[in-house]
Amino acid sequence: MSEITRRHVLALGVSAWLPVMSGGPARFAGPDRIPVLDRKWNIYLSEGQTDPRSLPAIGSLRAMMVFVDFADAPGDISGTDGIADHLTGYGKAEKWFRDQSYGRLTFEIARIPGWRRMPKPATSYTGANQRFTFQQHKDYMSDAAALFPELDVRTHPLLLVVGAKTDGIASSPTFIATPINAPVTPTGPVRWGVTFGKDSYTNTHMNLCHEVCHTLGLPDLYNFEPPRFTTGSWDIMCDIFRGTSLIGWHRHKLGWLADERKAYLAHGECETVLTPLPGSTGISMIVVPADGALNPSKVYAIELAQPIRGHDGTTTGDGVLVYSVDAVIPTGQSPVRIVPAKTTANFNYGELFEAPFSSGSILDDPTLPFSLSIKAKREDGYVVGVKVR
């Protein structure tokens, strides 16, 4: 879950032309680009343009991990190395960003080992629900940063603060602040951070990946109230317990998915082979506008499902995944919504785990701006036909 100041990222993407199935010519972003979604009033963590307060999603991102304890919650006497290894998945978090970004983002985590004592008890930093307000979070980050005079935010702009295990701090939110509202250090303001609470001691490294993605501009896809994983496990911004990856739209939004691997179909129809997102070739995402081709606030995306991992360690996820992306819907209110083949759910794989469409399926819902036919499964992907209404 993210907190505070708002952000987003410029979504670019010149797309390749796809072969036309029949009828009139299909229109893709062949000289056009997939439009940046109009977020209208929705500024914070929208699926539209990311504001300048984001961390860059391309290049090198360097984080510093530090460890703090409290008079009412002393740190584990065994030290901090094992905790750091758990939080990062023994290097899996860094590898995850390299893989998801196709090498466009290098994520490095340095550590300052050992516990340093915060000036106040853990229970004084949060309210009755053991969660931060923005001001409480800022005070916490300020007190933590002051314990580490060797910290240099010019070289390590992302600060990862690991608290000793305590009920006083229950969750692990993201901290994002404007320069004027950020804690001040001798080397500059601490504008981006993640604070790891009690839940991080049992969560996997996907917890860290999820929170860092907020600093790059991605919203929470799950529903806050009532709490539900309304995008299923198909993106870690919804489900960190079973999800393994980011959907194609988020890879596009962050500038990671290459131009030639995505297509914008505003008119006409096409037939093409959809290839897996983790690969390196072929068209892997087709985007269809829902409310205006030139300046949409909502689009639909069509791509191949990526694996999700059940609690028992097995994986599932095959077929064609369809979902809407609405830049007007706020974070925590389901800005991405699956169009499911089936709505089944279970504890192991979570909600909507059978959502992808299989070979031979036809999606022809008149409320959608397109129809979709899944013609065949091939070794290199799925043959799909898309017709814009």
Listing DSSP states for 177-241 in one string gives: --GGGS-EETTEE--EEEEE-GGGGTS-THHHHHHHHHHHTPPP-SBTTTTB-TTTTSSTTT-TT
pLDDT for the residue numbered 13: 27
Q: Phi and psi dihedrals of 114, rounded to 5?
A: 95, 150
Would you mind telling me the total number of residues written for the chain in this entry? Answer: 389
Whether 5 contacts 181, CB under 8 Å = yes
Cis peptide before 226 (omega within 30 of 0): yes
Domains and CATH numbers, the chain: 59-216 (3.40.390), 258-388 (no CATH)
Identity of the residue numbered 230: T
User: How many Cβ atoms sit within 10 Å of the Cβ of residue 106?
Assistant: 14
pLDDT tens by residue, the chain, 389 residues: 543 322 222 222 223 334 433 333 344 444 358 999 999 988 889 999 887 788 999 999 999 999 999 999 999 999 999 999 999 999 999 999 999 999 999 999 999 999 999 999 999 999 888 889 999 999 999 999 999 999 999 999 999 999 999 999 999 999 999 999 999 999 999 999 999 999 999 999 999 999 999 999 999 999 998 888 989 999 999 999 999 999 999 999 999 999 999 999 999 999 999 999 999 999 999 999 999 899 999 999 999 999 999 999 999 999 999 999 999 999 999 999 999 999 999 999 999 999 999 999 999 999 999 999 999 999 999 999 999 99
Q: Sheet containing 320-326: give its strands across.
A: 262-264, 285-289, 298-304, 320-326, 336-338
Q: What is the dihedral of CA 33, 379, 97, 246, to 10 degrees?
A: 60
| Euclidean distance between CA atoms 60 and 160, whole angstroms | 16
| Euclidean distance between CA atoms 354 and 141, whole angstroms | 41
User: How many Cβ atoms sit within 10 Å of the Cβ of residue 300?
Assistant: 23
Contact partners, residue 229, CB within 8 Å, separation at least 6? 222, 223, 238, 239, 350, 351, 352
